[in-house]
Chains A and B, each alone.
Chain A
Amino acid sequence: MASIEPPTLASETIAHIGSFEIRNTLIMAWLAMAVVFVVILLARRTKFKEVPGRFQAFLELIVEGLFGFFDSIIGEKKATRRFFPLLATIFLFLMLANWMGILPGVGSITIAEELHGEILNLPIFRSMNADVNMTLAIALISVIATQLFGIAALGVLPYANKFFVAPWRDPIGAFVGILELIAEMAKIISFSFRLFGNIFAGEVLLVVISYLMPYLAPIPFLGLELFVGFIQALVFSMLTAVFLKMAVTAHGTSHECDSATGGHEHGHDEEHAVEMVHA
């Protein structure tokens, strides 16, 4: 009986272009991109008509549904329209990549590589989000975009006032500002490791189940992974939407809100987001 080979934390390098490593997760990212491009090509070929066909109606359903969902979080149509490409791409690209990660062949089609005199079977395909590089990349994009949109909406100084408050004027505000700054950094870690952890854990789970009971037993877990893939994409995009909304909201409004409600409203958006995630 073959021994179980759980996936490693780091993705495997399949080839090199100069010093650039082509890893199995990058190949999956390219495949996911290819699927997106094919969908776009098909959509462009059918042309967007006034009376939609089935394919166009399906695309409209997705785009309209996502727009409505993000608009319900952001609450302002114009802002939603501005953030929509980022949010929708995070959701669709992550979900597609997560779902592609459970396709047959992903993780099971291997290539023999010699490493330190030892022959290793490296999987050619591996779920894109089972690599911290990808999740970190999207987390960085999300957090940087949040800062940029915040600066664009409020201006550099008012936005910086969220984090930097003169301690002699408002010591508590200065402390909260530092915490906010740390929280911004923490967002990158929480975003990237939440997604990575869930997808990697799913991979491990499927490997273990497939090893223990190769037939029928993995089916419910495949369904579970489909669900996890959807939920993780949703959580990532929804939290980005919440952070974007918070970033473009003037700092004064939340202070006014705090003073009006005795401080109970502090971090209300975040709580709301967490509640929605739990729901």
Chain B
Amino acid sequence: MELLTKLGINWQLLLAQIVNFLIVMGVLGYFLYRPILNLLDARTERIRKAMEEAKRIEHQAQEMAKVREEEMKRLDRESGEHFDRIRKEALELQSQMHATAKKEADAMIQSALKRIDEERRIMMEDVMKTVNTVIVRMTEKLLEREFTPADQKRIQEQLIAELPTMVR
């Protein structure tokens, strides 16, 4: 008891201090800790949700990137195939056109040759006619000067008869 007196322990004061502490604890708990902890919890929850959302979006983006990559690969493959097909078709078309052009050219050459032959034949006939006429005229002139009309007629007829063999 002497020690308690020396230390100044007083039951009323002890009780008062207990009450003081409980009041402080109650007030702090109700007006400070609870609202702040609730706020922090709400903030943590919101951050967690945002993180989850971000993770989900990231996952979605990864999926989309994968799909895009696959789509690009498919498009590459398809465009390659398409290009090969078109190239093949172009080559076929080219060879077809070549063949047609060659055929047309051959036909044109043939017709040209035919036309040349025809023209040469006509020209030769014209030349023959002209030469015949010239010879006949020259012969007429010559015979008129040197031979009698009877001789002229005979030679003329003889010449006309022999002329084709002479020209060849």
Contact residues of A with B, CB < 8 Å?
8-11, 19-21, 23, 26, 29-30, 33, 36-37, 39-40, 43-44, 48, 50, 59-60, 63-64, 67, 81, 84-86, 88-89, 92-93, 131-134, 136-138, 140-141
Q: How many Å lie between the Cα of A131 and that of B43 in the bound state?
A: 42
Q: Which residues of A sit under 8 angstroms from B29, Cβ to Cβ?
A: 85, 89
Is B147 at the interface (CB under 8 A from chain A)? Answer: no
Known: A63-B40, A89-B25, A133-B8. A20 touches B16 (CB 8 A): yes
The residue on B at minimum CB distance from A67 is B37
Query: 22 A-B pairs, CB-CB below 8 angstroms?
Result: A9-B7, A10-B5, A10-B6, A21-B13, A29-B17, A33-B24, A36-B24, A36-B28, A40-B32, A63-B33, A63-B36, A67-B37, A81-B37, A85-B29, A86-B25, A89-B25, A93-B25, A131-B13, A133-B8, A133-B10, A133-B17, A137-B18
Q: How large is the interface on B (under 10, 10 to 19, 20 to 34, 35 or more residues)?
A: 20 to 34
Which residues of B come within 8 Å of A, CB atoms? Answer: 5-10, 12-18, 20-29, 31-33, 35-37, 39-40, 43
A-B contact count (CB 8 A): 106
Which of B22, B39, B43 has the most C-beta atoms of chain A within 10 angstroms of its own C-beta? B39
Q: How far is the CB of B76 from chain A (nearest CB, A)?
A: 50
Question: CA of A8 to CA of B7 in the docked complex: distance in angstroms?
Answer: 9
Closest to B22 in A: A141
Residues of the A chain whose Cβ atoms lie less than 8 Å from the Cβ of B23: 33
Measured between beta carbons, the chain A residues less than 8 angstroms from B39 are: 48, 50, 60
Chain A CB count within 10 A is highest, among B6, B13, B23, B29, for B13
